[in-house]
Amino acid sequence: MNKHFFDSDIAWCPGCGDFAILRALDKAIAAAGVDRKKLVLVSGIGQAAKLPHYTQANVFNGLHGRALPAAVGIKLANHELEVVITSGDGDMYGEGGNHFLHNLRRNVGVKAFVHNNQVYGLTKGQASPTSDLGFVTKVQTHGVISPAFNPIALAVVEDCSFVARSFAGDPQHLQEMMAAALQHKGGFALLDILQPCVTFNKVNTYQWYRERVKRVDPSHDPYDRAKALDLAFKWGDEIPIGILYLSKRPSFEEQQVVLRRGRLVGQFAGQ
Amino acid sequence: MDLQLRIAGAAGQGVETTGDLLVEAFAALGLHVFATQTYMSRIRGGVNWFDIRIADAELFSGRRRADLLVALSKEALEWLRGEPARPGVADPGVILFNGSEGPGVTGVLFEQVAKELGGSAIMANTVAAGAVLAALGYEVSGLEELLRDRFARKGEEVVAANLRCVRKGAELGVAAAGRLKAPQPVGAPRGICSGNEAAGLGAATAGVKFVASYPMTPSTGVFTFLASVADEYGILVEQAEDEIAAINMVCGATYAGVPAMTTTSGGGFALMVEGVALAGMLELPAFIFLGQRPGPATGLPTRTAQQDLKFAINAGHGEFAKAILAPGTPQQCYDLTRHGVELAHKYQTPVILMSDQSLADMRKNCTDLDTSYRPISRHIVENPGGDYLRYAVTGSGVSPRALPGGEAFVVLDSDEHTEDGHITEDLEARVRLQDKRMRKLEGIRAEMLSPSWHGPPEAGHVLICWGSTYGPCREAVDRLNAAGQPTAMLHFSQVWPLRAAPIREALGDRRVTCVEGNATGQFASVLREVGVLSDCELILRYDGLPFTGEEIAERVRR
């Protein structure tokens, strides 16, 4: 545990879903056998993006919306590092939307754990790309009128190699999903985590999610893209959680001629 | 003794191919060559031209009016023969036109000959090259040898067809022979360097292993050059989804220990600026090749300018150390790219190399650049102890840099942080860390590359220039001194940070004129700001074309 964990207060509100995500991550790292010395936690800006400071790992806490390109640069420079992004919905789907779109295609083996609380926390309560229609804020005073961004459906459409959803209120499930993502070898992994914001989102509460989340049936074949897309469109009365889609397409690293010679950082061969 | 040729035609007609072939042919003859390109932002049509100047002494700049024009299209002929204001053809000059004979025009049906003898209109450039050499009274045997080398892989028939085209071109070009006095070969170096290729080679040999860019004229040539040598040197070249991704990918790659760079131009660089500040805050050795073009906004996408100097110096919110280099020749593009990548690592901070379209596309003879892999030092510490602090406060401001994956955690935060890299709002720590980062600027300043002086040491008038204006200024100084007007040039290949005192002392109370490719005299303003100058005269150009030596000399005399 980082000494700042003791020295300073964690910047999250009491009861925040981020605490459960942090605990699950620590357990998943152990369960997946990840060597923390080889682990890099990458984040952008936002409340979720502070997570790397509250555990033990190498940290690249970069710019708002830019966790993905930084993580990709790190992974391509040294693909023996385990590179995990922990950032929020505003960071990944809003400010970083273009990077999200294109890294689903690129399929570099970084793992994105998106704390999706459907609201902007650090800027105090504006709508996020995943806010539901009608969600009223101090900016969206008449309620959100643009339909919510659907990261899961987009990831399936773009043939993302690992697509899963979990819920911060189901720590066991969350830890399993994180461990599965960490063990995934086929490229980019997206884990969208439903995370209640106890301060700024009075609609999508623990209770609201608990009544709706439903683990995908064990019979679901994650390689069935059409079925995965059906699940991806489910939102409202029932929200499926679990591994929704897997693809067997090759990772970016496997296809890079230069990386067949080993790690890029190992090829520098200088001081 | 020199001569200027202009090959002009529509985009897609092979203007560049013809120009390149002739540049190589002239260099193979042992002539000094200097070539630049002027083209429109389109893939077909319009009027593009490729200027080649040849001489029996080293060349540093082009000339405005050509002695020999090869017009591949009617539009090119009309446009370049038009108003005197246009950079057309001297009167009397020689015109080889891809069409019928006319007053002052030698008709050579390049494309028709190519189709008849070569079986393809593509070989029109070979016909044209043969015609030009013959019109100037040069042997075509060197050109034939080049074509044999170039097309050997494509088989005997392709070689033979090209040779037939050259010979026929030479036969037709003889009609214009004897009218121009051509310089005699003097054994100039046969190698040809272009600004962009030289910068790319500098990066590859320096150990740059990761390149992420979004294509943008005029920087794309560096990006494509690096892609062309990626397998050979072991470079991962990735086309980013946008410039923001590119600079952030570069930051990530440098964090993991790989020398990395991006290539861009004005608008793309504008998008990167937050990432430049990130590299400043995280203390990462990001290297940025910035090929300038006229702005604002999209501006003149394929033309040249030096309009982004103050923008580059101030690029990034907040205050942090950075260095800005500005090569003046292809050789300097190579040397300063290597130097810049090393400097970025030594001081763990972003370094920007500023080129522009005229330098990017400039071709000139040079002795062969060293292609051997000679990686720079990354200034890395191996195996730091368990109490490692990424941002340890030091006298120089440079903290020992370790890489992630070793025994110590390496923690970086774009928020203000304590020495261990973790987020803080301890305002005393903020001042300590800000001061530490700024001390690096003093280190870079102390080892500033000295500006270069050309001309008599006692000259009473000094032309100050930076970057690509080196060549035209140098030629202007030679012309002015030959005309009995003692003048010197002071060229800056590092434009930030500057050591003011020695430059101020060297200039003394001489008359100073700043020569710049912008509308406001940006470098003059910087020199005033840092206390090098109190005031100076300005010679500016911002129409999108590069300066020429003759133009600067004329404007000095005026």
Same-domain status, B522 and B460 = yes
Average pLDDT, chain B: 95
Beta strand B45-55 pairing with B32-38: antiparallel
Distinct helix (H) and strand (E) counts, chain A:
11, 8
State how far Cα B520 lies from the chain centre: 22
Which chain B residue shows the shortest CA-CA distance from A56? B409
Q: Which is nearest to B496 in space by CA: B284, B310, B357?
A: B310
Q: Classify residue B380: in a domain, yes or no.
A: no
The answer, yes or no, to whether ipTM is higher than 0.95 is yes
- What is the total count of domains within chain A? 1
Domain span at A115: 3-267
Residue of B92, B60, B72, B57 whose CA lies nearest to B19: B72
Touching check for B426 and chain A: CB below 8 Å?
no
Q: Tokens 């203000």 correspond to what residue?
A: B416
State residue A167 phi and psi, 5-degree precision: -140, 130
Nearest to B39 by CA among B299, B361, B305: B361
B223 and B286 both lie in a single domain: yes
What is d(CA B2, CA B5) in angstroms, rounded to the nearest whole number? 10
Subunit contact B234:A264, Cβ cutoff 8 A = yes
Average pLDDT in the B426-450 region? Answer: 98
CATH code where residue A175 lies? 3.40.50.970
**pLDDT at residue B118, as a whole number:** 86
Q: Which residue has better confidence, B534 or B558?
A: B534
Strand bridging mode B461-466 / B494-496:
unpaired
> Do the Cβ atoms of B499 and B286 come closer than 8 Å?
no
Q: Which of A50, A35, A64 is nearest to A182 (CA)?
A: A35
The model's pTM is 0.96
DSSP code string of B80-115: HHS-TTSS-EEEEEEEEESS--BTTBEE--HHHHII
Is there a domain that residue B328 lies in?
Answer: yes
Asked, for residue B439, whether it belongs to a domain, the answer is: no
Q: Which member of B258, B379, B421 has the closest CB to residue A264?
A: B258
| Predicted confidence (pLDDT) per residue in B521-540, tens digit | 999 999 999 999 999 999 99
Range of weakest confidence among A4-18, B11-25, B205-219 = A4-18
Boundary (domain end) residue, out of B306, B333, B365 = B365
Q: Test B241 with A59 for CB contact under 8 angstroms.
A: no
Closest to B221 (Cα-Cα) out of B257, B248, B194: B194
Residue B1 CB partners (closer than 8 Å, separation 6+): B55, B56, B57, B181, B183, B184
Q: Are residues B272 and B312 in the same domain?
A: yes
Classify B192 as helix, strand or coil: strand
- Edge-first strand order for the sheet with B351-356 is B236-239, B210-213, B260-265, B287-292, B351-356, B323-325, B494-496
- Residue B159: give its domain's CATH number: 3.40.920.10
**Spacing of C-alpha B505 from chain mean position:** 30
Shared domain check, B276 and B320? yes
Tell me, what DSSP letter sits at residue B294?
Answer: S
The residue from B330, B365, B400 where one domain ends is: B365
B168 and B221 fall within a common domain: no
Q: What is the spatial distance between Cα B454 and Cα B462, in angstroms, rounded to a whole number?
A: 10
B323 shares a domain with B200: yes
On whether any CB of chain A is under 8 Å from the CB of B259, the answer is yes
* A269, closest residue in chain B (CA to CA): B375
Q: Is the separation of the CB atoms in B336 and B493 below 8 Å?
A: yes
What's the distance, CA B511 to chain centroid?
29
Q: Is 70 exceeded by the pLDDT of residue B457?
A: yes
pLDDT tens digits for chain A (271 residues)? 444 444 457 899 999 999 999 999 999 999 999 999 999 999 999 999 999 999 999 999 999 999 999 999 999 999 999 999 999 999 999 999 999 999 999 999 999 999 999 999 889 999 999 999 999 999 999 999 999 999 999 999 999 999 999 999 999 999 999 999 999 999 999 999 999 999 999 999 999 999 999 999 999 999 999 999 999 999 999 999 999 999 999 999 999 999 999 999 999 987 6
| B384 lies in some domain | no
In this prediction, residue A271 carries a pLDDT of 62
- Write out the E strands in B398-507: 411-413, 452-454, 461-466, 487-492, 494-496
Quick one: CA dihedral A257, A259, A265, A267, positive or negative? negative
A254–chain B nearest CA distance, Å: 13
As a whole number of angstroms, the distance between CA B140 and CA B142 comes to 6
- Is B203 in contact with B261 (CB distance < 8 Å)? yes
pLDDT at B19 (0 to 100): 95
B325, B493 Cβ separation under 8 angstroms: yes
* CA dihedral sign of residues B102, B105, B111, B117: positive
Closest of B202, B194, B192, B195 to residue B372, by C-alpha: B202
pLDDT at B104: 86
- Among the candidates B365, B394, B420, a domain finishes at B365
Residues B85 and B213 in one domain: no
pLDDT of res. B83: 74
Are A270 and B258 within 8 A, CB to CB?
no
Burial B274-290 (b: 16+ CB within 10 A, else e): bbbbbbbbbbbbbbbbb
Asked whether residue B142 falls in the same domain as residue B271, the answer is no
Query: Contact, B192 vs B29, CB < 8 A?
Result: no
A267 Cβ neighbours under 8 A, 6+ residues apart: A258, A261, B209, B234
State the total domains in chain B.
3
Contact A270 B407 (CB under 8 A): no
Cβ contacts from A onto B, under 8 A: 172
Contact list in B for residue A62 (CB cut-off 8 A) is 248, 251-252, 278, 282, 412, 414
Which of A258, A260, A263 has the highest number of chain B CBs within 10 A, making it the mutation to test binding with B? A258
Same domain, B61 and B144: yes
Do B51 and B94 share a structural domain?
A: yes
- B224 domain-assigned: yes
Instruction: Provide the 8-state DSSP code for B15.
Output: H
Confidence label for B179 from pLDDT (cuts 50, 70 and 90): very high
pLDDT at site A2:
47
As a whole number of angstroms, the distance between CA A142 and CA A129 comes to: 16
| CB of B507 less than 8 A from some CB of A | no
Q: How far from B102 is each of B77, B99, B106, CA to CA, in Å?
A: 11, 9, 7
CATH label of the domain that carries residue B501: 3.40.50.920
Peptide bond into B92 cis (omega under 30): yes
What's the rounded Cα separation, in Å, for the pair A267 and B257? 11
With an 8 Å Cβ cutoff, are B255 and A70 in contact? Answer: yes
Judge whether residue B86 has pLDDT over 90.
Answer: no
The answer to whether residue B429 neighbours chain A at the CB level (below 8 Å) is no
Structure confidence at residue A186 (pLDDT): 94
Nearest-Cα distance to chain B for A63, in Å, is 7
CB B493 within 8 A of CB B332: yes
Structural domain span for residue B216: 193-365
How far B448 CA sits from the closest chain A CA (Å)? Answer: 24
The tokens of B272 are what? 């990167």
CB within 8 Å: A101 and B235: no
